Amino acid sequence: MRLGFAVGVLAAVGYGLVLALDFPHGSRLFPLAIGIPTMILAAVEVGRQAVRRRRRAPGEVDPPAEGVPAVSRTPVAWTYALIAGAFLFGVEWVAPLFIFAYLKLMARWSIIKAVASAAAYYLVITTLSGALGLRIPPGWFSG
């Protein structure tokens, strides 16, 4: 993953630099002044990681930098299901539904407690939005 991420940064910066060449003169000064050294740094990091990888024993995997991984299947699936659902159908309804489903399935709460928690969240958010004049945008499909 370390090498992959370094390559990703290098590719993103490189692609950005190629696009920046078409900017008007005044607009490309800063992107190039920052982008070129950044690309060099990213390339050095790719080289370092490639060397590390070559020296590693076959089948050996880098442990997460902090011991416990941030990228793991179940938490990522739940979190991105919420983000995708909120994007498509709107936060207002998807978030309480997510809270209910998570508390029921992961925390193994009773249906009544899970529904009450989701309802409490909905009430707090709608009250806060009403009081502070905050906007809750509809989703991609519901808008």
As a whole number of angstroms, the distance between CA 139 and CA 125 comes to: 16
Of 54 and 91, which CB lies nearer to other proteins in the complex structure?
Answer: 91
Query: Which string of x and - marks every residue 113-142 that binds other proteins (by CB under 8 A)?
Result: ----x---x---x--x--xxxxxxxxxx--
DSSP one-letter code for 108: -
| Look-up of token digits 């958010």 | 125
Interaction between residue 93 and other proteins (CB under 8 A): no
Query: Roughly what angle, to the nearest 10 degrees, separates helices 25-55 and 2-20?
Result: 160
Interaction between residue 110 and other proteins (CB under 8 A): no
**Shortest Cβ distance from residue 100 to other proteins (Å)?**
9
DSSP one-letter code for 62: P
Rule CB under 8 A: choose which of 80, 110, 111, 127 binds other proteins. Answer: 80
Degrees (nearest 5) of the Cα angle 36, 22, 38? 15
Interaction between residue 69 and other proteins (CB under 8 A): yes
Rule CB under 8 A: choose which of 2, 7, 93, 116 binds other proteins. Answer: 2
As a whole number of angstroms, the distance between CA 34 and CA 13 comes to: 10
As a whole number of angstroms, the distance between CA 126 and CA 141 comes to: 21
Q: What are phi and psi of 75, to 5 degrees?
A: -60, -40
Using CB under 8 A, list all residues that contact other proteins: 1-2, 5, 9, 12-13, 16, 19-20, 23-24, 26-27, 30-31, 34-35, 37-38, 41-42, 44-45, 48, 62, 64-66, 68-72, 74-76, 78-80, 82-84, 86-87, 90-91, 95-96, 98-99, 102-103, 106-107, 109, 117, 121, 125, 128, 131-140, 143
